[in-house]
């Protein structure tokens, strides 16, 4: 059996070079809460592990002109303790903080959650609803990619060989904005989302002026549900508009029957969570 | 309860003797034993639910450098068609050897096909991939009702349904039919004002012990074998391994580790005979540890079942007749707990006319093992749900209805015995008087109640009590301590001796260091082994009195043992300074040598236990998620020797029952392969799912035990499912009949009941 090599570079450039040199056998290690579990289970056997937690740019949270930049390897625990980010993007923060337990929070990152490419990843619908942009660096330099374009199917991403997600940018937002993320799990903790729903709204004088809605665990990848956003924008978030948005969510679902839920159940719950998440996001928007 | 204290130590909450080791990580569990030069053993498991094994080629694996031994079914001698007790269940030796290592057929996915021992885990793993098995895949059957149908794939061509006359000619998956009768059920229904009839199902559920199976075997050249393993009964392990491998019991010494949970699932053997056989062939120690996935695919669980209940009652709540059919899935080999399931079904009630039929059914799933009150929770789920329906229909309080029909001393059960001193009525009354039942149900919540019964077991135990040179005491018994039994045994010994609990050290001895002990199971240890410890201690006290008599040169009748010392029985005897244990120990050599007590017995008179659980919960109608707000377990425990550990048993049983009710199930694909062999998707409750589980200990002492002990460990898993189902029925108007009541299932049932919502 081949033993894996371990490197902990201090810069993104170095990390990218190491990945390029590993010839497809390299794996990025952030918190390791997916990667190490998969290695122990014999599902993956990397030749080189590139630990990105010593890279300043990937482990920092900063604000630039109202936008927030969150390093891809920042842990859930650090995000939890960041008052500024929590105030601006409570839905994104609560989604990241739903991952695992206290112990897992001390390690797990949003970058790992996205790149592990589980359809049920909790932070991804919230990031997509937020309109987050990922900064990606690879052998051919840097590019900016909307988060929804990164997952390509269960366990698959659109990242090119050797590419690393460096950070996420959450855009500056107008007053009267709020976001929320809700997931359904059969237990109260330590479970995987049967459905996840992220909602991001801007309200002006009681009318919804902008909306983004994303669903997790109801299709091979996260879904940006534009029909739901359309139903909300221009409305006063009255029952009819919300029911139309819920119907758009149900219509967008392409779930499977599996050990975590049935097609019928997942489809129904997508609508239920949409209504509940809109209520929370709207409440936050009103008080912002 | 009045706190007048009958005893100095019994009934107090002392630290458990194994506690410090467990919280500091010093305790050694099954996988913590190692020997110089040990090899790693691994098992190749069947990927098919049902297949003929046409051939196995191990030559490539055996030739791999680092591989020291390979075994297959051919390495285990054929066994007779003979039943042996395994905990509370019976097993057939012919089947046990096939479950340990398949012979002609693979009968479930995960069935052991071959095993290797190698220098490293990686080599062993690679060797498994080099074993070539030629399978002929057969149609399989998973579900118990499907397995009973004509035309179902037959697992065992030799199997004919036992208990049917005339004996059937055709092979069947129904291993056995049983029947119990009291009065005349058919006539009884004629006296009923209402009759309710429903069918219920349950899914198999795993015991879910945190510690996977593990064994380390060392077979020496002279034929002696030593084995270290995590088990509920090392004497049982010795018995099984010796039978399967043609060893004499004196040749095999089994040392039990600390045990990380068993709940009945560690009363059988899986790895142990394989590790020994590999060690015999390799000439080196072999260690085997199951992964969690292997635990799920190849060990436990308890049966899933189908139960039909018909119950008739008069308007005043008198239950006049019950007719019950129970079909339990046994897994790949005959032997589900259908017997106890039938017997427990109506044991809580004094009903004139009862008819119960049971079926033991094989299917292509792991062979079931005991799990807390084996079989009882399955029939209770159905019967207690119907009792609740009777209460609802007649508009009678569910506790009052049960009080009206409660079994009491003198009640003749439908399976034969007449109850002695039991506490069903006292338990119901305590439930009614509990702070929980007296509280108002919160708006939006609903309350459910259910009861449960378990026999509890006595059986064989041995114990010894040794006085050290300084007067401190060692209590030696032979039952692995799962639930705090060492603490309870030490408390009873301290009480008998009249010395400080801390001066008594209880240990669990290996099979060569104490006489035979039946398994830790059937809630028997504090009762039966407790009795042995009390008797061994009394034997020792008798000797201590003799030594004092010798020193004082008086008749032994003139000596009494009080407060940890020998005293003259009266002033007439003479003026003697009392002799403490320490003083008597110091002079032991001069008075006849070491002072040790012994006892061995077959404990008779195990006291049955009854429990009543109360739950308050709410249902989210949009998601089908149940949230439990308050939960109370009330039980007749005889005497709580160590109340904290008795409460712990009640709380643990309730927690497992809640998981059984709400989420736990095995999910199979179309090929009969298990899809959720891990705790992520086999959803046992996590801490945040449960409220603090309140307990009420009712003490109706068992007259057959000096301290009144009844078993307590099994009753608490029986009532939760029906308590929860009944609360859900009262919350939503929908009576759930299939377990688990998972969110998708409850949501679908609620939608079906309110067509408007479903039409959305
Ligand atoms: C007990 C437990 C509970 C869990 N509960 C949840 C839960 O509730 N919800 C949930 O969504 N997930 C859950 N998870 C999964 C996991 O914790 C999350 O997906 C987590 O966010 C992964 O982050 P990480 O930093 O640990 O990733 P890692 O394990 O370090 O990496 C995950 C994958 O992404 C790749 N990767 C990591 N960072 C980058 C990067 N910057 N660029 C490119 N590739 C990268 C890695 O190579 C690897 O393939 C749980 C896991 C455990 C063990």
CATH number at residue A270: 3.30.390.50
Ligand 1 within 6 A of CB of A112: yes
Nearest partner of B711 among B538, B531, B535, judged by Cα:
B531
pLDDT at A174 exceeding the cut of 50: yes
Q: Whose CA is nearest to atom 49 of ligand 1?
A: A116
Q: Examine residue B312 and state whether it is found in any structural domain, yes or no.
A: no
Are residue B555 and residue B425 in the same domain, yes or no? no
pLDDT per residue as tens digits for the range A58-97? 999 999 999 999 999 999 999 999 999 999 999 999 999 9
pLDDT of residue A23: 87
Residue B627: pLDDT over 90:
yes
pLDDT at A1: 45
Distance, first Cα to last Cα, chain A: 56
Q: How far is C-alpha B144 from the geometric centre of its chain's CA atoms?
A: 22
Distance CA B162, CA B174 (A): 8
Dihedral angle over CA of B335, B417, B529, B338, nearest 10: 20
DSSP notation for B381-425: HHHHHHHHHHHHHHT--HHHHHHHHB--TTPBPTTS-B--S--HH
Are residues B717 and B582 part of one domain? no
Helix and strand element counts for chain A (H, E): 11, 14
Of B622, B680, B689, the CB nearest to A188: B689
Number of H helices, E strands in chain B: 22, 28
- What pLDDT is recorded for position B704? 96
Count of structural domains, chain A = 2
What residue has token string 């390029």? A20
Q: Does B495 lie in the same domain as B422?
A: no
| Chain B positions in Cβ-Cβ contact with residue A272 (cut-off 8 Å) | 622-623
Kindly state whether residue A63 falls inside one of the protein's structural domains.
no
Domain boundary among B603, B631, B650: B603
C-alpha–C-alpha distance, residues A43 and B310, integer Å: 51
All residues of chain B having their beta carbon less than 8 Å from the beta carbon of residue A184 are: 623, 625, 743
Average pLDDT of the residues in A203-231: 97
SS3 B99: helix
A81 lies in a domain?
no
Do B492 and B599 reside in the same domain of the chain? Answer: yes
The total of structural domains in chain B comes to 3
Gap from CA of A228 to ligand 1 centroid (Å): 29
> What's the pLDDT tens digit per position in B580-590?
999 999 999 99
Domain contains B359: no
Q: Domain with A6 in it: what CATH number?
A: 3.30.43.10
**Is the minimum distance from the CB of A115 to ligand 1 under 6 angstroms?**
yes
Q: How far is the CA of A116 from the centre of ligand 1 (A)?
A: 6
> Does B647 share its domain with B721?
yes
A263 burial via Cβ count (<10 Å: 0-12, 13-18, 19+): middle
Three-state DSSP state, B752: helix
B598 and B497 share a domain?
yes
Whether residue B232 sits in one domain with residue B110: yes
Residue A135 lies in a domain: no
Both B465 and B566 in one domain: the answer is: yes
B569 found inside a domain: yes
Are B447 and B510 within one domain?
no
Check whether residue B651 and residue B716 sit in a common domain. yes
Nearest partner of B451 among B430, B424, B433, judged by Cα: B424
Domain end point (choices B547, B575, B603): B603
Instruction: Give the structural domain span for B404.
Output: 382-452+607-757
Question: Would an 8 Å CB–CB cutoff place B621 in contact with chain A?
Answer: no
Arithmetic mean of pLDDT, A223-251: 98
Average pLDDT, chain B: 96
Residue B466 has pLDDT above 70, yes or no: yes
Q: Is residue A160 part of a domain?
A: no
Residue B345 domain-assigned (yes or no)? no
Residue A129 resides in a domain: no
Give the strands of the sheet with B565-568, arranged side by side: B559-562, B565-568, B579-580
Residue B3 confidence (pLDDT): 46
pLDDT attached to residue A288 = 81
In a domain, A12, yes or no: yes
Question: Is residue B122 domain-shared with residue B246, that is, in the same domain?
Answer: yes
The answer to whether B137 contacts chain A (CB < 8 Å) is no
Is A189's CB within 8 Å of B688's CB?
yes
Residue A241 forms part of a structural domain: yes
Is the four-CA dihedral B573, B577, B583, B586 of positive or negative sign? Answer: negative
Report pLDDT for B195. Answer: 98
Last residue of a domain, one of A19, A36, A51: A51
In this prediction, residue B85 carries a pLDDT of 76
Tokens 């929860």 belong to residue = B724
* Residue A187 to residue B623, Cβ atoms within 8 A: no
- Whether the per-residue pLDDT at A2 is higher than 60: the answer is no
**A259 touches B: beta carbon within 8 Å:** yes
Q: ∠B654-B658-B661 over CA atoms, to 5°?
A: 135
- Percent of chain A whose pLDDT exceeds 70: 99
Three-class SS of residue B758? helix
Classified as helix, coil or strand, A88 is: helix
Element (H, E) at B74: none
Per-residue confidence (pLDDT) for residue B98, from 0 to 100: 98
* Contact between B666 and B203 (Cβ < 8 Å): yes
Backbone angles phi, psi at B671, to 5 degrees: -95, 5
Q: Does B203 touch chain A (CB under 8 A)?
A: no
Rg of chain B in Å (alpha carbons): 27
- Say whether A187 and B760 touch across the interface (CB within 8 A): no
- Residues B102 and B197: their CA atoms lie apart, in Å, by 42
Q: Give tens-digit pLDDT for A102-120.
A: 999 999 999 999 999 999 9
In a domain, B150, yes or no: no
Report which DSSP code applies to B365: S
pLDDT digits 0-9 by tens, A11-24: 999 999 999 999 88
Provide the pLDDT for residue B242.
96
- Identify the CATH number of the domain in which residue B107 sits: 3.90.1170.50
CB of B689 within 8 Å of any CB in chain A? yes
Domain boundary among A32, A51, A70: A51
- CA distances A74 to A32, A78, A84, A144, B318, Å, are 12, 7, 15, 19, 66
pLDDT at B757 over 50: no
* Residue that terminates a domain, selected from B281, B298, B315: B298
Which whole number is the average pLDDT over B612-630? Answer: 97
pLDDT of residue B683: 96
For residue B304, tell me if it sits in a domain.
Answer: no
Q: Supply the pLDDT for residue A214.
A: 98
The encoded tokens of residue B151 equal: 């035309």
Report the pLDDT averaged over residues B414-438.
Answer: 98
Domain of residue A191, residue span: 177-286
Contact list in A for residue B663 (CB cut-off 8 A) is 186-187
Q: Is residue A221 part of a domain?
A: yes
pLDDT tier for residue B1 given thresholds of 50, 70 and 90: very low
B549-558 average pLDDT score: 97
Question: What is the pLDDT, as a whole number, of residue B756?
Answer: 53
Q: Are B444 and B463 within one domain?
A: no
In tens, the pLDDT along B362-413 reads 999 999 999 999 999 999 999 999 999 999 999 999 999 999 999 999 999 9
Which tokens sit at B459?
């059986």
Atom of ligand 1 nearest to the CA of A44: 49
Q: Using alpha carbons only, how large is chain A's radius of gyration in Å?
A: 19
User: What order of strands is seen across the sheet that includes strand A48-51?
Assistant: A5-7, A48-51, A26-29
What ipTM did this prediction achieve? 0.93
Q: What is the CATH number of the domain that holds B665?
A: 3.30.365.10
Whether the per-residue pLDDT at B336 is higher than 90: the answer is yes
Report residue B269 as tokens. Answer: 């053997």
Per-residue pLDDT tens digits for B519-543: 999 999 999 999 999 999 999 999 9
Task: List the single residue in B622, B687, B742 with the smallest CB-CB distance to A186.
Answer: B742
């Amino acid at each position: 059996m081949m033993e894996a090599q371990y490197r902990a570079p201090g810069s993104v450039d170095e990390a990218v070079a190491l990945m390029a040199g590993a010839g497809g056998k390299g794996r990025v290690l952030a918190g390791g809460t997916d990667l190490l579990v998969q290695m122990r289970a014999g599902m993956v056997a990397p030749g080189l592990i590139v630990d990105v937690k010593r890279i300043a740019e990937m482990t920092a949270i900063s604000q630039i002109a109202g936008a927030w930049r969150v390093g891809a390897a920042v842990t859930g625990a650090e995000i939890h303790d960041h008052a500024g980010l929590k105030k601006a993007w409570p839905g994104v923060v609560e989604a990241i903080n739903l991952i695992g337990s206290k112990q897992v929070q001390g390690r797990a990152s949003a970058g790992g959650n996205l790149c592990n490419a589980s359809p049920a990843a909790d932070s991804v619908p919230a990031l997509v609803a937020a309109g987050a942009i990922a900064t990606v660096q690879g052998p051919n330099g840097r590019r900016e990619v909307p988060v929804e374009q990164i997952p390509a199917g269960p366990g698959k991403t659109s990242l090119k060989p050797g590419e690393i997600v460096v950070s996420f940018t959450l855009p500056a937002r107008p007053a009267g904005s709020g976001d929320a993320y809700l997931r359904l799990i059969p237990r109260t903790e330590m479970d995987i989302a049967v459905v996840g729903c992220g909602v991001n709204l801007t309200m002006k004088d009681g009318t919804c002026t902008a909306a983004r809605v994303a669903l997790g665990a109801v299709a091979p990848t996260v879904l940006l549900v534009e029909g739901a956003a359309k139903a909300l924008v221009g409305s006063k978030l009255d029952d009819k508009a919300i029911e139309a948005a819920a119907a758009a969510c149900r219509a967008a679902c392409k779930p499977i029957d599996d050990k975590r839920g049935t097609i019928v159940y997942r489809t129904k719950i997508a609508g239920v969570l949409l209504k509940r998440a809109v209520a929370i996001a709207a409440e936050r928007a009103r008080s912002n | 309860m009045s706190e007048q204290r009958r005893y100095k130590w019994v009934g107090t909450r002392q630290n458990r003797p194994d506690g410090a080791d467990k919280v500091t990580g010093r305790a050694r569990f099954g996988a913590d034993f190692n020997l110089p030069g040990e090899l790693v053993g691994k098992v190749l498991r069947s990927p098919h639910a049902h297949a003929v094994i046409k051939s196995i080629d191990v030559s490539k694996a055996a030739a791999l450098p680092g591989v020291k031994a390979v075994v297959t079914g051919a390495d285990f001698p054929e066994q007779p068609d003979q039943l042996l007790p395994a905990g509370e269940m019976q097993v057939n030796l012919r089947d046990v050897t096939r479950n340990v290592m398949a012979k002609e057929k693979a009968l479930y996915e995960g069935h052991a096909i071959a095993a290797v021992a190698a220098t490293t885990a990686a080599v062993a793993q690679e060797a498994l991939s080099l074993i070539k098995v030629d399978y002929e895949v057969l149609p399989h059957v998973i579900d118990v009702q499907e397995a009973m149908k004509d035309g179902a794939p037959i697992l065992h061509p030799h199997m004919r349904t036992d208990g049917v006359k005339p004996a059937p000619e055709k092979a069947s998956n129904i291993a056995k039919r049983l029947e119990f009768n009291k009065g005349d059920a058919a006539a009884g229904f004629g006296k009923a004002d209402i009759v309710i009839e429903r069918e219920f199902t349950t899914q198999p559920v795993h015991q879910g012990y945190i510690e996977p199976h593990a064994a380390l075997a060392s077979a020496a050249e002279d034929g002696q074998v030593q084995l270290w393993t995590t088990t509920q009964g090392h004497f049982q392990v010795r018995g099984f391994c010796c039978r399967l491998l043609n060893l004499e019991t004196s040749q095999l010494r089994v040392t039990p580790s600390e045990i990380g949970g068993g709940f009945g699932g560690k009363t059988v053997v899986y790895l142990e005979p394989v590790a020994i056989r590999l060690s015999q062939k390799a000439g080196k120690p072999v260690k085997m540890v199951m992964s969690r996935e292997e635990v799920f695919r190849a060990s436990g669980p308890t049966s899933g079942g189908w139960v039909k209940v018909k119950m008739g009652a008069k308007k005043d709540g008198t239950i006049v007749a019950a007719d019950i059919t129970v079909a339990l899935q046994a897994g790949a080999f005959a032997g589900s707990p259908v017997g106890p399931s039938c017997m427990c079904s109506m044991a809580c009630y004094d009903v004139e006319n009862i008819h119960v039929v049971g079926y033991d059914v094989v299917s292509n799933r792991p062979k079931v093992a005991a799990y807390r009150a084996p079989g009882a929770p399955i029939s209770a789920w159905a019967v207690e749900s119907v009792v609740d329906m009777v209460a609802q229909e007649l508009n009678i309080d569910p506790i009052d209805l049960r009080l009206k029909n409660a079994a009491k001393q003198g009640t003749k059960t439908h399976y034969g015995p007449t109850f002695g001193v039991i506490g069903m009525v006292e338990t119901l009354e305590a439930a009614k008087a509990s702070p929980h039942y007296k509280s108002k149900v919160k708006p939006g919540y609903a309350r459910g109640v259910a009861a449960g019964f378990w026999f509890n077991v006595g059986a064989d135990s041995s114990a010894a009590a040794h006085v050290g040179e300084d007067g401190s005491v060692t209590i030696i018994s032979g039952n692995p301590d799962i639930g705090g039994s060492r603490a309870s045994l030490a408390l009873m010994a301290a009480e008998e001796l009249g010395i400080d609990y801390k001066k008594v050290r209880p240990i669990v001895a290996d099979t060569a260091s104490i006489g035979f002990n039946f398994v830790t199971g059937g809630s028997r240890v504090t009762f039966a082994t407790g009795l042995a410890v009390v008797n061994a201690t009394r034997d020792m006290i008798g000797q201590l009195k003799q030594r004092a008599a010798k020193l004082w040169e008086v008749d032994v009748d003139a000596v009494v043992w009080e407060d940890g010392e020998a005293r003259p029985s009266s002033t007439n005897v003479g003026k003697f300074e009392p002799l403490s244990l320490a003083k008597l120990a110091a002079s032991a050599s001069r008075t006849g040598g070491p002072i040790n007590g012994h006892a061995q017995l077959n404990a008779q008179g195990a006291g049955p236990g009854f429990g009543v659980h109360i739950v308050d919960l709410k249902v989210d109608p949009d998601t089908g998620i149940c949230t439990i707000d308050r939960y109370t377990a009330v039980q007749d425990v005889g005497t709580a020797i160590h109340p904290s550990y008795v409460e712990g048993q009640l709380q643990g049983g309730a927690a497992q029952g809640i998981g059984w009710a709400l989420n736990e199930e095995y999910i199979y694909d179309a090929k009969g392969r298990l899809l959720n062999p891990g705790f992520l998707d086999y959803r046992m409750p996590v801490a945040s799912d449960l409220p603090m589980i309140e307990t009420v200990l009712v003490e109706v002492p068992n007259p057959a035990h000096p301290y009144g002990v009844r078993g307590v460990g099994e009753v608490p898993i029986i009532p939760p499912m029906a308590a929860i189902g009944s609360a859900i029925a009262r919350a939503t108007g929908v009576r759930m009949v299939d377990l688990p009541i998972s969110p998708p299932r409850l949501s679908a049932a609620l939608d079906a009941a309110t067509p408007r919502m479903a039409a959305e």
